[in-house]
Amino acid sequence: MKNIAVIGTGYVGLVASAGLAELGNDVTGVDIDAKRINALNDGRIPIYEPGLEAIIENYRSTARIRFTTDAALAISEADIVYIAVGTPSLGDGSADLSAVRAAAATIATNANRAKVVVLKSTVPVGTAESIGDFLRLRSERHLPVVSNPEFLREGHAVQDFLSPDKIVLGTSDDWAREMMLEVYRPLVERGVRIVTCTNETAELCKYVNNAFLATKVAFINEIADLCNAVRADVAVISEALGLDKRISPAFLNPGPGFGGSCFPKDLRALAYVGRAANVPLRLVEEVLEENRQHMMQVAGTLERMLGGLSGRTVGLLGLAFKADTDDVRESPAIAIATELVRRGARVRAFDPRASENASVILRDTVAYCGDEYQAAEDADALVIATEWDRFRTLDLNRIRQLMKGTHLYDTRNLYAPDAVRQAGLTYLGMGRSDFAVIPRKIAMGATS
């Protein structure tokens, strides 16, 4: 059992705190935001993540997890200090490391003995080295830095922390590596593989992991667009691709585009590092551009289908960037709503969890509805933008009666097109729509 301080009680910090307590450690979550700490101490968890509240409440009651603004005390008691603060994008795509630097300064000031410093935040290559240099300059204690990137998916984060596919530990310090192997021993005993490497390799590994997954999504989205144009069915293509063990079925579901707090930000940061290192990452840059254009085309397709969007009403199901989260950061659903409004449509939106967060961005440009049926009222078209489970079992006959028009744009391919048509609706899917025309020359095999 180790005494661990986790600096940052945001998404990653809270999940790491819960997971580290579950692995048998004493954990103190530290934040400069007193309101947040007070809320946590009152048992209010500021984010929605399945399973998180139960674990935190359980260990808070036995004091195995505590929350405080007193960084000095938490750090002085700790054997290991995790840095889990935000690294948002700056205007040029690079990562803003000011919170990481501030956390390192607090550690240097308060370290009363040797401690392992763990970088959990997603940081560009070279950050661990520069934080290590900084700590050596500011403190006489032995404060080796371990890069331990996280691969948590929102909505599955607790489960991902406790049953990860892998743990990456980057450090050049043997003592720090041994300490971390002890922390994660319960997982190793359950068969989890640990990849040990240098700090630089671990830092890059995190970005590359996200970039690869985002590339899969962008690729299948591009193929979905082609399927629309030539009347092929992308769902079948994804299934066939997934059966090839070399490809795997994961991350081959087409959708309105990838979003969230990680993929877009991390791809921009990786592209920035490539440019800075004079090794332009053309594929990564192109994936970002494909995703941007793909998100925009939902409104464009609707405009064509409806013969204009001005004065039209569009119901929008989903505002979160994916299901099972209230996170709307870089959500394709928000991009779709914004573009629909820009083109003159009235938008009636519903999300089971994310309306409040969405309203900070969209304000009163859209109407927020109490459920999916209210969103469908008088709508010329209905768009499913987030794959919430409850949107899979809509009463389509009731939807048809409530709507003025007939178009259902299922950007997540939740429905069998025939089931939608049977309810008297016109089905538009992502890469399996029936409105496309095969250009003659392709059908005839002509070359010019």
The full DSSP string for 342-368 is HTT-EEEEE-TTTHHHHHHHHGGGSEE
Report the site for ligand UGA in 116-135 (rule: CB under 6 A).
122
Out of 67, 82, 151, 409, the residue judged to bind ligand UGA by CB under 6 A? 151
Phi, psi dihedrals of residue 122, rounded to the nearest 5°: -80, 115
Report the site for ligand UGA in 252-311 (rule: CB under 6 A).
252-253, 255, 258-260, 262-263, 266
What three-state secondary structure class fits 423?
A: coil
Q: Does 82 bind ligand UGA (CB under 6 A)?
A: no
Angstrom distance (rounded) from CA 36 to CA 46: 7
What three-state secondary structure class fits 331?
A: coil
- The least distance separating ligand UGA from the CB of residue 100, rounded to whole angstroms, comes to 15
CB atoms within 10 A of CB 139: 18
- The least distance separating ligand UGA from the CB of residue 445, rounded to whole angstroms, comes to 33
Q: How many residues bind ligand UGA (CB under 6 A)?
A: 21
Q: Which range, of 38-46, 145-153, 349-357, 437-445, touches ligand UGA by CB under 6 A? A: 145-153
Q: Does 152 bind ligand UGA (CB under 6 A)?
A: yes
Q: Which residue has the tokens 């205007």?
A: 91
Q: Which two tokens stand for residue 238?
A: 């994804």
**What secondary structure letter does DSSP report for 89?**
B
Out of 322, 348, 407, 432, the residue judged to bind ligand UGA by CB under 6 A? 322
Q: Which is nearer to ligand UGA, 143 or 207 (CB)?
A: 207
Q: Which is nearer to ligand UGA, 264 or 417 (CB)?
A: 264
H helical segments located in 152-252:
157-162, 174-183, 185-189, 199-230, 234-243
Beta-bridged to residue 119, according to DSSP, are 83, 147
Cβ atoms of 199 and 170 within 8 Å: the answer is yes
- The least distance separating ligand UGA from the CB of residue 332, rounded to whole angstroms, comes to 6
Angstrom distance (rounded) from CA 127 to CA 139: 18
Q: Does 154 bind ligand UGA (CB under 6 A)?
A: yes
Q: x/- string (CB under 6 A) for ligand UGA, residues 236-255? A: ---------------xxx-x
Report the site for ligand UGA in 191-230 (rule: CB under 6 A).
210, 213, 217
- Any idea what the Cα angle at residue 116 is, between residues 124 and 69, rounded to 5°? 85
Q: Which is nearer to ligand UGA, 199 or 413 (CB)?
A: 413
- The least distance separating ligand UGA from the CB of residue 441, rounded to whole angstroms, comes to 31
Out of 59, 161, 321, 415, the residue judged to bind ligand UGA by CB under 6 A? 321
Catalytic residue selected from 197, 205, 227, 262? 262
Q: Which residue has the tokens 């950050």?
A: 127
227 is an active site residue: no
Tally helices (H) and strands (E) across the chain: 19, 14
Angstrom distance (rounded) from CA 147 to CA 121: 9
Integer Rg of the chain from CA: 24
Out of 2, 138, 153, 421, the residue judged to bind ligand UGA by CB under 6 A? 153
- The least distance separating ligand UGA from the CB of residue 253, rounded to whole angstroms, comes to 3
Beta-bridged to residue 313, according to DSSP, are 346
Q: Does 31 bind ligand UGA (CB under 6 A)?
A: no
User: Which residues are marked as active site?
Assistant: 262
Query: Which residues make up the interface to ligand UGA (CB under 6 A)?
Result: 122, 150-154, 210, 213, 217, 251-253, 255, 258-260, 262-263, 266, 321-322
